[in-house]
């Protein structure tokens, strides 16, 4: 599996020499997940951060009434984990499923700690991508509290421009917190206005 | 101003020797903020991470209809910043205000970068506290999408146990996304049930 994308992704934030790159790559595991196959199910402990090389993952929880709520998507070049479970090593609440055939590179929590010990600048890389992720969640939370469904939809389109035409409508709907029927009616209205 | 609390807070995650502690403290600025005084107003660039030594800060946005939405509180021992603005150094949307007289230690973005260069293990400290913060926001987002107002209120009580009796009711209401009137009715019902 090509490691060009993950090394390019890291190279945006920290400079690695050839030896450091090779060492980092030696800590990764390759994983292929079929369409609708689970990488992680709720109630289990998350042992890996997953980086999407191709395809797309969907992370979601199921509430007491059986409704799904999408926390995040991980298209090509994005990371995904149940952060609560990964940090605490307690059972999590996130289901991580492949929406289509997905190729992943996995970094185990154990290997991540070894990596931090050997190449401390990876602390910087993970600090920066965690900060970026935090900003996104803060923004999404404020959007959910203060914006209309239409504005939330527009923000979704900005955040995941490559996904808007490829994702099942029901997943986009649960991400922005509306029913699929409401989303369809809204999209029709928006199209008519253009 | 005492630096015991901030050093204790950091000591939970990384070990510092006396020289490193002194160096870190030398980078901090003391700041006192009166009740209802702003530390940051929306439209400005956030230049500091603030650590609360005593008192409590409130971070909130104002939507297009003039409604306030509370993103977070920072009681004693917590950090607060407009993360989007701090990272991008672009004008932010967060207002940060003191709910009561508040004593702060400020770490400027410039000094934080100098600190990372001189004592790289601070990358680890900030990575870990950012991860913890990310987990909280993910949890809160999922709560907002899937829980009833009563369950969101219960989670607020767990997250900020020291604040529940000292905060203005309207701030708790906007944090959990209900009106102050709805919160009062809910609290009365919950009390009757006990």
Give the pLDDT band of residue B47 (cuts 50, 70, 90).
very high
Of B10-14, B17-21, B113-117, B177-181, the one with minimum mean pLDDT is B177-181
Does residue A194 register a pLDDT over 80?
no
Q: Which residue of B has its CA nearest to A82?
A: B135
Nearest CB to B139 within list A84, A87, A131? A84
> What does pLDDT average to over chain A?
93
Mutate which of A80, A82, A94, A138 to test chain B, going by most B C-beta atoms within 10 A? Answer: A138
Select the residue from B112, B134, B144, B171 to test the A interface by mutation, using most A Cβ atoms within 10 A. B134
Write down the ipTM of this complex. 0.91
**pLDDT in the model for residue A143:** 86
Give dist(CA B22, CA B19) in Å, integer. Answer: 5
| Residue of B123, B150, B172 for testing the chain A interface, max A β-carbons within 10 Å | B123
**Which residues of chain A lie closer than 8 angstroms to B14, CB-CB?**
none
Average pLDDT, integer, range B31-53: 97
* Partner-chain contact B137 A139, CB within 8 Å: no
Contact state of A69 with B142 under an 8 Å Cβ cutoff:
yes
Q: For residue A179, which residues of chain B lie inside 8 Å, CB to CB?
A: none
Query: A181 burial class (0-12, 13-18, 19+ CB within 10 angstroms)?
Result: exposed
Closest in B121, B142, B177 to A71, CB measured = B142
- CATH class held by domain A4-116: mainly beta
- Report how far residue A48's alpha carbon sits from residue A109's, in angstroms, rounded to the nearest whole number: 6
Which alpha helices (DSSP H) does chain B contain, by range? 4-11, 18-26, 83-88, 109-118, 121-146, 149-159, 169-176, 180-193
Give the pLDDT confidence score for residue A61 in this predicted structure.
Answer: 93
Both tokens of A194, joined, read 């253009």
- Percent of chain B at pLDDT > 90 equals 67
Rounded CA-CA distance B32/B47 in Å is 16
pLDDT at B161: 84
Are A87 and B121 a contacting pair at CB < 8 A?
no
Which residues in B lie closer than 8 A to residue A67 (C-beta atoms)?
Answer: 146
Instruction: Give the residue-averaged pLDDT of B134-151.
Output: 88
Residue B9 has pLDDT above 90, yes or no: yes
Environment class of A127 (CB within 10 Å of its CB; exposed 0-12, middle 13-18, buried 19+)? buried
Above 90 in pLDDT, residue B165? Answer: no
The percentage of chain A sitting over the pLDDT mark of 90, rounded to a whole number, equals 67
User: What does the pLDDT read at residue B108?
Assistant: 98
Closest residue in chain B to residue A174, using alpha carbons only: B145
Question: What does the pLDDT look like over B88-124, one tens digit per residue?
Answer: 999 999 999 999 999 999 999 999 999 999 999 999 9
Task: Name the E strands within A82-147.
Answer: 95-98, 102-108
**pLDDT by residue (tens digit) across A118-152?**
999 999 999 999 999 999 999 988 888 888 889 88
Residue B191 pLDDT grade (very low, low, confident, very high; cuts 50, 70, 90): confident
Scored b (16 or more CB within 10 A) or e, A14-35 reads eebeeebbeebeebbeeeebee
CATH for B4-119, options being 3.40.50.300, 1.10.10.10, 3.30.420.40, 2.60.120.10? 2.60.120.10
Of residues B40 and B64, more confidently modeled: B40
**Cross-chain Cβ contact A135/B83 below 8 Å:** yes
| Residue, of B158 and B106, whose pLDDT is higher | B106
User: What is the pLDDT, as a whole number, of residue B63?
Assistant: 87
Q: Among A16-20, A50-54, A64-68, which stretch is predicted with the lowest mean pLDDT? A: A64-68
Residue B194 has pLDDT above 80, yes or no: no
Q: From CA A38, how far away is CA A58, in angstroms rounded? A: 10
* Better-scored residue on pLDDT, A165 or B25: B25
CB burial string A71-110: b at 16+ within 10 A, e below: bbbbbeebbbbbbbbbbeeeebbbbbbbbeebbbbbbbbe
pLDDT band at A190 (very low <50, low <70, confident <90, very high): confident
Give the span between the Cα atoms of B105 and A173, in whole angstroms.
Answer: 43
Domain boundaries, chain A: 4-116
Q: Which residue of A has its CA nearest to B141?
A: A141
* CB-CB contact of A164 with B163 (8 Å): no
Which region among A59-73, A155-169, B89-103 has the lowest average model confidence (pLDDT)? Answer: A155-169
Give the whole-angstrom CA distance, residue A90 versus residue A82: 10
Q: Which residues of B touch A83 (CB under 8 A)?
A: 131, 134-135, 138
Distance from C-alpha of A60 to C-alpha of A50, rounded to nearest angstrom: 15
């Amino acid at each position: 599996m090509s490691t060009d994308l993950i090394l390019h992704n890291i190279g945006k934030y920290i400079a690695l020499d050839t030896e450091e790159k090779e060492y980092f790559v030696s800590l990764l595991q390759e994983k292929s997940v079929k369409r609708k196959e689970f990488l992680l199910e709720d109630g289990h402990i998350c042992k890996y951060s997953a980086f999407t090389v191709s395809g797309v993952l969907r992370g979601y929880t199921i509430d007491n009434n059986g409704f799904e709520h999408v926390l995040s998507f991980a298209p090509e070049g994005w990371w995904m984990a149940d952060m609560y479970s990964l940090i605490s090593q307690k059972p999590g609440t996130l289901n991580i499923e492949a929406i289509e055939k997905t190729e992943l590179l996995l970094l185990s929590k154990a290997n991540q700690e070894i990596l931090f010990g050997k190449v401390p600048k990876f602390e910087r890389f993970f600090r920066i991508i965690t900060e970026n992720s935090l900003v996104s969640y803060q923004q999404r939370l404020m959007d959910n509290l203060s914006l209309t469904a239409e504005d939330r939809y527009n923000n979704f389109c900005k955040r995941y421009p490559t996904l808007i035409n490829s994702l099942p409508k029901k997943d986009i709907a649960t991400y922005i917190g509306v029913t699929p029927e409401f989303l369809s009616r809204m999209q029709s209205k928006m199209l008519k206005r253009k």
